[in-house]
């Protein structure tokens, strides 16, 4: 069992492998196989200890802060300054110790990284309070994030990278005001770009590891949140097009860069696939195509134009990724799902031209055209996923296709003027589809 392996004995054995290969006792291929086996065992056995060590480091840091806060008002300004830097200096000493003596221990690196980040925040806040440095929470978070990112690379800490991305999202939420004057969220994308090289390092080191998948999912979810703020700030009505592109990029990256050996999808691809389905259902409502912004280059600020460029990046990347795989004849993705940004682009352009001043080709508002197109697309996507699920003998994938069709039917239940009889018949057909598809899948598995 992986949990019963003696880690000290494993390290000794891995140290003996070069001598055994040199002596001809084992081949280099056997040594590489042994190295891979015990590397994966050590990673699995250390995961619980890494979590416990990280939580312990966080609790120690919180305890130190509480002890200092108890007598804070009775201390002089010089004493406060010294105390503010003591945790940070201790953290730097631990960093040096880990790099020199415990560099191979993931638990030590993760725990010290969390303690170092907490000590950095403590020093910034205490010095600011002692000398009454004026600033906002946005300023504090921005400085903290910029100073924390080197710790991620120095200690090779995946948990630290995840905490860094979460902190950037907290900064974005605090910066963004839904009731006041919106500020530019563009700096968030710089925060996110700073952690991408570490994600690539994790991918090159072990693309099948749980830490690589976890960090990729956190980055994907943070991108979805940030794109919402970016689209709102850009005020270009490109949100449908941009979100379809981002979800497609996530879906394609999950299939291309984090593939599984079995027929199941990676977690990143599942997030992207669900995102494409959600976008299709949202865009099937007519209200989603009410274009409220008159695009005018002269009246736009430079940050808004940057936000517009960010919106356009994701659909372009999605088309390039899918087109490249199609040209290489190695596409493993659903062509219907990958077509989401193209369908959104064509629909957006049609609705925009139709609703332009003097551009009405129909007497009514053309937003219903966009809704109609995505009703058809969502139904097509659901049928495609259902067929792929039945073809691959995947109950989960087939049921997701049926859930998408059911969600479309539910959306039309609240969004159309259909009679109750028509709606009832529609739900009966969808329910019957669930039953028939599952019966076919279970029979297929029984005979396989």
Q: Convert 157-202 into a string of H (helix), E (strand) and C (coil).
A: CHHHHHHHHHHHHHHHHHHCCCCCCCCCCHHHHHHHHHHHHHHHHH
- Euclidean distance between CA atoms 290 and 309, whole angstroms: 22
144-176 in b/e form (b: 16+ CB < 10 A) is bbeebbebbeebbbbbbbbbbbebbbebbeebb
- Euclidean distance between CA atoms 83 and 67, whole angstroms: 11
- Euclidean distance between CA atoms 384 and 389, whole angstroms: 9
pLDDT score at 45:
44
pLDDT score at 1:
38
pTM: 0.77
Centroid of chain to Cα 29:
37
pLDDT score at 183:
76
Encode the chain (448 residues) as per-residue pLDDT tens digits.
344 445 567 667 767 777 777 777 887 777 777 776 666 554 444 555 555 655 666 666 666 666 665 566 666 778 778 877 888 888 899 899 988 888 888 878 888 888 888 888 888 887 887 777 777 888 888 898 999 999 999 999 888 899 899 999 999 988 876 545 567 889 999 999 999 999 999 998 888 888 888 999 999 999 999 999 898 888 888 888 899 999 999 999 988 888 876 667 888 999 999 999 999 999 888 888 876 655 565 667 888 889 999 999 999 999 999 888 888 777 677 888 899 999 999 988 888 777 665 545 444 567 777 888 888 888 888 888 888 887 777 777 878 888 888 888 777 777 655 556 656 666 676 667 667 766 766 666 566 5
Q: Which long-range contacts (CB under 8 A, 24 or more apart) does 360-368 make?
A: 365/290, 366/289, 367/286, 367/287, 367/288, 367/289, 367/290, 367/291, 368/286, 368/289
pLDDT score at 2:
42
Instruction: Tell me the C-alpha to C-alpha distance, in Å, between residue 343 and each of 242, 280, 347, 380.
Output: 12, 10, 6, 12
Yes or no: say if 57 and 114 are a contact pair by the CB < 8 Å rule. yes
């Amino acid at each position: 069992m992986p949990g019963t392996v003696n880690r000290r004995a494993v390290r000794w054995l891995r140290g003996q492998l070069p001598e055994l290969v040199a002596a001809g006792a084992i081949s280099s291929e056997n040594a590489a196989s042994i190295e891979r086996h015990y590397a994966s065992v050590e990673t699995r056995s250390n995961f619980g200890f890494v979590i416990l060590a990280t939580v312990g480091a966080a609790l120690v840091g919180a305890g130190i802060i509480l002890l200092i806060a108890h007598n804070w008002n009775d201390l002089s300004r010089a004493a406060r300054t010294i105390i503010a830097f003591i945790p940070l200096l201790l953290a730097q000493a631990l960093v040096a110790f880990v790099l020199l003596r415990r560099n191979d221990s993931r638990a030590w690196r993760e725990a010290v990284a969390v303690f170092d980040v907490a000590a950095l925040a403590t020093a910034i806040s205490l010095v600011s309070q002692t000398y009454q440095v004026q600033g906002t929470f946005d300023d504090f978070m921005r400085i903290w994030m910029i100073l924390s990112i080197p710790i991620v690379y120095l200690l090779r800490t995946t948990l630290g990278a995840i905490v860094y991305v979460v902190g950037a999202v907290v900064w974005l939420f605090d910066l963004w005001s839904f009731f006041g004057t919106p500020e530019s969220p563009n700096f968030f994308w710089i925060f996110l770009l700073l952690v991408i090289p570490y994600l690539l390092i994790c991918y090159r080191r072990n693309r099948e590891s749980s830490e690589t998948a976890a960090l990729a999912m956190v980055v994907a979810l943070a991108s979805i949140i940030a794109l919402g703020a970016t689209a709102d700030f850009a005020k270009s009505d490109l949100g449908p097009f941009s979100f379809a592109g981002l979800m497609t990029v996530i879906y394609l990256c999950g299939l291309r860069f984090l593939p599984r050996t079995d027929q199941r999808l990676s977690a990143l691809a599942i997030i992207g696939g669900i995102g494409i389905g959600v976008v299709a259902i949202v865009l099937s409502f007519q209200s989603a195509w009410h274009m409220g912004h008159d695009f005018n280059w002269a009246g736009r600020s430079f940050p808004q134009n940057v936000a517009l460029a960010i919106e356009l990046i994701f659909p372009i990347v999605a088309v390039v990724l899918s087109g490249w795989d199609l040209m290489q004849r190695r596409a493993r993705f659903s062509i219907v799902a990958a077509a989401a940004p193209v369908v959104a682009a064509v629909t957006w352009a049609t609705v925009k031209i139709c609703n332009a001043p003097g551009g009405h080709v129909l007497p009514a508002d053309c937003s219903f055209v966009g809704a109609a197109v995505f009703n058809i697309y969502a139904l097509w996507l659901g049928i495609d996923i259902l067929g792929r699920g039945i073809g691959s003998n995947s109950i989960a994938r087939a049921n997701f296709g049926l859930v998408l069709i059911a969600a479309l039917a539910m959306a039309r239940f609240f969004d159309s003027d259909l009679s109750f009889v028509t709606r009832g018949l529609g739900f009966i057909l969808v329910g019957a589809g669930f039953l028939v598809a599952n019966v076919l899948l279970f029979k297929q598995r029984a005979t396989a």
